Chains A and B, each alone.
Chain A
Amino acid sequence: MQRGKRGNAMIEVMGKRAFLNAVMVAVLLLFISENAGSANGQGGLAEERNYNLAEGFRSLKWGAQLADAKKIYPDLLFVEQIPRTDPKYLYYRRKNENKTFSGLEWDRIMYVFTKSKDFVSADAETRFELEDKDKAIAQYNDLYQKITAKYGKPFHAEKTDEKGYPFLYSGIWHIGSESVSLDLGSINDNKIYKDSGVESEISMLEFKLGMYSDKGEGKALDF
């Protein structure tokens, strides 16, 4: 009888364990399938070409026509044109973008096409609140060092502060027909309107990485 009770208890425990295992496996499968789904939604992250700087950005070649880019990234969406009237550049984003690039998580990644719809530039951007100034500076310095290690000293670099915040930290590298620019700057959007004029103060910080190719502008073909 004692053994029988223990046996029933064991079966009960084993049943509970089997149930918990089944729940765990189900959750794992659900998690895996959802992620696989989102990867497919990104146009196949696993199939990302990841061109080098001389060739393009991610799976898009510099100079690629917008129509061809949309075949590669069907989730490419128009965002804005700059300037708004008589635009020179058209900005696009991907609906399912992988926003991790160069080891950093960016707020936005934009694909820039010329007026004639040639892929010319890719921009990554993140904004920081003023209380995160140190984090922003650390990220700028870290990426600056990484780019310098890969492409050498920048063509131009500067660091200007204003009221204890980065006003303009900037570096630009020219590598053949491509350029890389790194900027950390202030956004002055706190304004005081007086009869004598307008005063402005820093509201946020903007961190930007830009990759540009002359090939997109057709310039690299001119000798």
Chain B
Amino acid sequence: MKKMRAYFLFLLPFLLLSPIPLSTGADVTVNEAFGPIRNERNLSIVDGFAALKWGVSVEDAHKIYPDLREDSSKFYTQYYKGKKGPDGVYVFYVRNNENLRVGGHSLEPIEYRFLQGKFVAVGMGVSCDEDTPCNTEAIYQDIVKAIRKIYGKPYNLASRTYQDDATVSKTGGIEKVQEIEWKIEDETITVSKSVEPKFSSIDIFIFSYQGYFSATGQER
């Protein structure tokens, strides 16, 4: 038994140093943020999200996820649909019956965002209001803790407190936003929490410059 323990202790550093792929899971239930899920449909964050590689075309994405359909949410329809930004047009897609849990909390829907027809970003979140009350701070901390566990120290921490007259008259009080961002190679993960008197939300936004350069045709 002692020898077994000695062998194990000898091997432990090598096992710990061996690269373990970190994956994202969108079509499987995960209890920790972004894996590690040993599932062939889950790519590492530096390669893609779930089974979609950064920069993949809408057509190829449909072959992988036939249930991918254009988002019909108010947010997308109001702010993005058909609007041309400086880099082109964004189209958001969602899937049926996805179940992604980060830090023990369900985040839905997952928006697969395509720029100029190429996969560049993912958005997901939780919203709370008087009809659907929740502890925004606790959820935010759980999510941040889960992502820290995988990606460690963040690249940026930021907060915004809006206490100007325009915000107060619009929201009925002060609006507080907290943000934390990680940079992993060409990808960034941003978790933001916004709290107003009657509404609060937590959003996770994953953006890939790899996908962006592919969408904008910029040579690297």
Contacts and interface: CB of A to CB of B under 8 A. Distances in A.
Q: Majority SS of interface residues in chain B?
A: mixed
Interface residues of B, number: 32
Contacts of B154: 127, 129
Nearest to A81: B218
Contact of B165 (A77, A127, A195, A204): A195
A27 interface: yes
Interface of A: 17, 20, 23-24, 27-28, 30-31, 34, 77-79, 95, 107-108, 127-129, 187, 189-195, 203-204
Contact of B163 (A30, A129, A193): A193
Contact of A191 (B18, B155, B161, B218): B161
Nearest to B220: A78
B164 A27 contact: no
Given A34-B18, A78-B219, A195-B165, A127 B213 contact: no
B160 interface: yes
Interface stretch (B9-17, B99-107, B137-145): B9-17
Nearest to B177: A191
Contacts of B217: none
Contact of B18 (A31, A127, A193, A203): A31
Given A20-B7, A194-B164, A77 B186 contact: yes
B220 A24 contact: no
Nearest to B6: A20
Contact of A129 (B15, B157, B167, B186): B157
Nearest to A80: B209
Given A34-B19, A77-B186, A28 B14 contact: yes
B156 A127 contact: yes
Contact of A189 (B4, B7, B157): B157
A24 B13 CA distance: 12
Interface in B29-46: none
A203 B156 contact: yes
